[in-house]
């Protein structure tokens, strides 16, 4: 049992890393023929009809052409899914569902690629995997040069910490609990509302039916988001999958391309939630060794 849980965690970490690198759909695979949810059909803005060349028509009494009455252009109504209210309601449901669930598994990653001279401080590959099962929690953070794992046994307030720096393993203890805030509220509603999404409707995935939102154009990104990056935003690929029955964001994959003075940089982030109410995890294999080295 312990082996299977370890394999499961490794698979989740690998999956979220792949999603972060590729900007793809990760575990959510759209069906070949998605079924769109009913959406309001936008009213096309009337375009002017070109006036033909004047044709001379003999007439004893020229008739004045009546002046056309200008028609007011209708004011565009923002899409419901491009408002902070829509995303705040969804995130509140998402957070409430996860906090009230008996268990869940979450993973987040950031992947960076580009010339060394173009990368900035803090831009590095990071993957975080979390399993919460009641008061028992396990979280692992993977950096390019080290891994840090924390385990909080069920019913205990203390946390065992394992550091692995290129094979040099050390242990320590820390106070708990292991916090889950960034897992249950990964982004802010105001940021999610900064995009003009395409609502792809309901699509079939290997984990059930999901509502899919996409952004594939720089023009669909609010200027405040574009200005927040160091460099010119030249490309964006952004996908959000929502479980409409549970009201949770099950997957978010976001990738941008930036032009900087020393080259092109790609930043990709991914967020994944799975096994809500059904996640389990046995104590890590290194727990006895951690106890022996910290007591």
pTM of the model: 0.74
- 158 is a domain residue: yes
Q: Angle at the Cα of 294 (from 290 to 295), degrees rounded to 5?
A: 115
| Whether residue 166 has pLDDT greater than 80 | yes
Q: What's the number of domains the chain is made of?
A: 1
- 56 is a domain residue: no
pLDDT tens column, 8-40 = 455 555 555 555 444 333 343 334 333 334 434
- 35 is a domain residue: no
Distance CA 262, CA 11 (A): 35
Confidence band, pLDDT 50/70/90 cuts, at residue 95 = very high
| Whether residue 184 has pLDDT greater than 90 | yes
Per-residue pLDDT at 146: 95
**Is the CB of residue 166 less than 8 Å from the CB of residue 174?**
no
Per-residue pLDDT at 287: 96
- Cβ partners under 8 Å of residue 227, min gap 6: none
- 175 is a domain residue: yes
User: If you average pLDDT over residues 107-136, what whole number do you get?
Assistant: 94
Supply the CATH number for residue 281's domain. Answer: 2.50.20
- 245 is a domain residue: yes
pLDDT tens column, 29-69 = 334 333 334 434 343 333 333 323 233 334 444 444 444 44
Distance CA 43, CA 54 (A): 32
- 94 is a domain residue: yes
Alpha-carbon torsion angle 11, 17, 22, 23, nearest 10: 100
- 89 is a domain residue: yes
- 187 is a domain residue: yes
Per-residue pLDDT at 280: 83
| Domain extent for 172 | 2-10+83-294
Per-residue pLDDT at 268: 97
| Whether residue 7 has pLDDT greater than 80 | no
């Amino acid at each position: 049992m312990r082996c299977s849980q370890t394999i499961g965690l490794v698979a989740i970490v690998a999956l979220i890393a792949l999603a972060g690198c590729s900007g793809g759909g990760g575990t959510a695979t759209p069906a070949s023929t998605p079924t769109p949810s009913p959406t309001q059909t936008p009213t096309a803005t009337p375009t002017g009809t070109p006036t033909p060349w004047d044709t001379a028509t003999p007439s004893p009494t020229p008739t004045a052409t009546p002046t056309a009455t200008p028609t007011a252009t209708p004011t565009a109504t923002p899409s419901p899914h491009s408002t902070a209210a829509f995303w705040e309601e969804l995130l509140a449901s998402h957070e409430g569902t996860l906090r009230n669930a008996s268990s869940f598994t979450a993973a987040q990653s950031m992947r960076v690629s580009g010339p060394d001279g173009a990368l900035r401080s803090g831009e590095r590959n990071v993957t975080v995997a979390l399993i919460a099962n009641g008061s028992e929690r396990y979280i692992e953070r993977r950096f390019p040069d080290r891994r840090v794992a924390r385990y909080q046994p069920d019913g205990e307030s203390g946390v065992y910490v394992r550091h692995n720096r290129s094979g040099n393993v050390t242990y320590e203890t820390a106070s708990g609990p292991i916090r889950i805030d960034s897992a249950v509220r990964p982004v802010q509603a105001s940021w999610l509302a900064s995009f003009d999404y395409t609502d792809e409707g309901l699509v079939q995935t290997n984990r059930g039916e999901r509502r899919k939102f996409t952004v594939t154009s720089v023009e669909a990104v609010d200027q405040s988001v574009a200005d927040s990056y160091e460099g010119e935003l030249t490309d964006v690929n952004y996908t959000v999958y929502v479980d409409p029955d549970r009201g949770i964001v099950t997957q978010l994959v976001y990738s941008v391309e930036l032009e900087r003075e020393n080259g092109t940089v790609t930043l990709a982030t991914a967020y994944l939630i799975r096994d809500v109410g059904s996640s389990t995890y046995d104590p890590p294999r290194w727990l006895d060794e951690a106890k022996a080295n910290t007591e």
